[in-house]
Amino acid sequence: MSEPANQPAPCCSEKTLNWLAAAGAVLVMVLLVAALRHYTRTPDVNAARAVERRKILAEAMQKAAEETASFAVIDQAKGVYRLPVDAAVELTLRGAKDPAAARKDLLARAEKAFFVPPPPPEKPSDFE
């Protein structure tokens, strides 16, 4: 049997067309997955948090720098004060000329600063 004269000759075999259709379907699927991944991506949660952390760190560092360079009263009743680093080093060097007196003074100041009063006596029970 011969082909009718009005139909054009096929350009590709049926096997080639099947492979092209399968490759086209895979390509469409890859494009759809890529598009879905792009449009359903959640924003990075840590980006905003990182900005907030940098701001908090900068504020903490600025506060620490101000505290190390200024005088302040911590507890006037106990005689606890904050000194700048340079002044504290100078006082330490002055005290280092007589180590025994410096140690005695340091222990007295530490005991005064960290003194914890004894607990109140226990209330006796009603049965005693």
- Residue by residue, DSSP assigns the chain as ----TTSPPPSS-HHHHHHHHHHHHHHHHHHHHHHHHHHTPPPPHHHHHHHHHHHHHHHHHHHHHHHHTS-EEEETTTTEEE--HHHHHHHHHHHTTSHHHHHHHHHHHHHHHT--PPPPPPPPPTT-
- Count how many domains the chain has: 2
Q: What is the pTM of this model?
A: 0.42
In a domain, 33, yes or no: yes
7-21, 47-61, 80-94 — which one is most confidently predicted on average? 47-61
Provide the residue range defining the domain that includes 28. 13-42
Q: Identify whether 4 is part of a domain.
A: no
In a domain, 47, yes or no: no
- pLDDT for res 96: 84
Average pLDDT value for residue range 106-121: 84
For residue 94, pLDDT over 90 is answered with: no
38/74 same-domain check: no
